[in-house]
Amino acid sequence: MKLNGSEIIAECLLEQGVDTVFGYPGGAVLNIYDALYKYSDRITHILSSHEQGAAHAADGYARTTGKCGVVIATSGPGATNLVTGIATAYMDSIPIVAITGNVTNDLLARDSFQEVDICGISMPITKHNFIVKDVKDLANVIRKAFRIAMSGRKGPVLIDIPKDVTGAICEFKAVTPEVIVNPTVSDKTDFETASKIIAESKRPMIYMGGGVVSADAEEELLSFAEKTDCPVATSIMGLGGFPASHRLFMGTIGMHGGYETGKATDNCDLIITIGARFSDRVAGDREKFGKDAKIIQLDIDKAEINKNVKIDSYILGDLKSTLKTLTDTVEKADHSEWIAQVNEWGKNSSVSETPKSDEYAHPYHVIEAVRAITKDSDIIVTDVGQHQMWVSQKYRFEEPRTWCTSGGLGTMGYGLGAAIGSAVAHPEKTVVLFTGDGSFHMNLNELATVCSYKLNIKVIVMNNTVLGMVRQWQKLFYGRRFSQTDPHRKTDFAKLAEAFGIRGMRIHNDDDAEAVLAQAFSTNEPVVIDCRISPDENVLPMIPPGKTVDDLITEME
């Protein structure tokens, strides 16, 4: 059948199982939006307030479903507004396809109105990108883009389409998408080598990351951990990939991880790294990381092997299959004495907490109160900063794909868009966004989107009136010279929410928390809670950058 380019886009999206897209219309994508109007019974479009919000929404949709998120933007500023969202997805290996319009072919490279080379701009932050100059190539490019985004180490792909291509007519033939199979690269010898190292270990630990969740390999990890009797530490990205209630779970590893995970890393004789990349926030001092340990790495991306930390043995391939094979290969073990030692470190760790106050709520109290009234399947989203670390420390995640945060890029302003994508994907669940006043000020315009679609999102603004994490670093490393981290803003977030058509509430101190939260969570409507916390609250413990657990900070003035 003959279709125009925009109809081909819609048909290819349906081929790929896409039923929801996020975006913002503009001149160069008018043909695409005309097709979306015709296909509105099969493809739902969520209109954001800003293209960056749409990109983060596609990201949140992808993280919480395992599907590929889709975002659409017009040329020029519409396309460049996607860049931060695309980079966020790239750093965390999240599959999204970004479709941008561009000026017509005859106007390319002429500095035309709203023209920009988005392929050149986005090249370092995408797995691949395309500009489609002939409508005959369009369908195959779209199919290839989804395959690239979803295969191997997942990530974002961009397709730039000139306006005349979206209006051109071409013969279209539907194709059934090929099933993506990520082959195991390692052979039997690699599994046997790893198994031998594991068998010889007396003090092993598992360090897992977001790759486990990306591969849907949570059950395989659980089986492997139980058979090898290994305590499990997780990166920020790995939260939810191993149940926090399990006896082997240690908590997060790295700069703001627990004392026990730091001590285990320092004293173990084997680190089995699964779907993680030894970032600087985990391996602060790369030369001393796991200094007495051998390291086995399981990953799908060969570029990660020996990139940050020297590896003794590795296994390449999809974690769902490689973990199963390795579990079948290893012998059952008992490391009860080692686990008891790790647990003892956990009991002996002490972090100074500020005393209870009538003026402020304590972030831990609020987070634990939220955990008490949420289900394991509800979705927790954060922005970036102190609140992000507090949630990673105190919220107990039991299920995969219930945690959405910007790990690698650390994008302030990520949270509200990601919460929107999560809520659209899971209307049956409650979505909780923990944010800071600094992060929330960046993209709070998306409250309009939350209200328009009546999304069940509870926004908890940890409002300390300062840029808390940067201010904490200024305390520690810059002689308490608080340069531009106390902006003196007077925003009343409860009243602001009401201006957007959303209910606003307040938590003044710990005594308010349970009652306010119970009221907020009693409906399926959006709520914004202005939660006052002290500007002097800190994220502890903390390993300074480039240091080890020997330099752990547990208290600050």
**Residues with a known catalytic role:** 51, 113-114, 163, 469
Cis before 535 (ω within 30): no
Tokens of 420: 């929107």
Angstrom distance (rounded) from CA 323 to CA 368 = 33
**C-alpha angle 524/407/141, rounded to 5°?**
85
308-311 long-range contacts (CB < 8 A, ≥24 apart) are 308/277, 308/278, 308/279, 308/280, 308/283, 309/278, 309/283
Three-class SS of residue 362?
coil
Closest to 386 measured CA to CA, from 547, 539, 164, 207:
539
Q: Are 229 and 295 in contact (CB under 8 A)?
A: no
Which is it for the CA torsion 331, 249, 216, 296, positive or negative? negative
- Alpha helices for 395-446 (secondary structure H): 415-425, 437-443
Q: Are 239 and 252 in contact (CB under 8 A)?
A: yes
- Alpha helices for 151-258 (secondary structure H): 163-167, 188-200, 210-214, 218-228
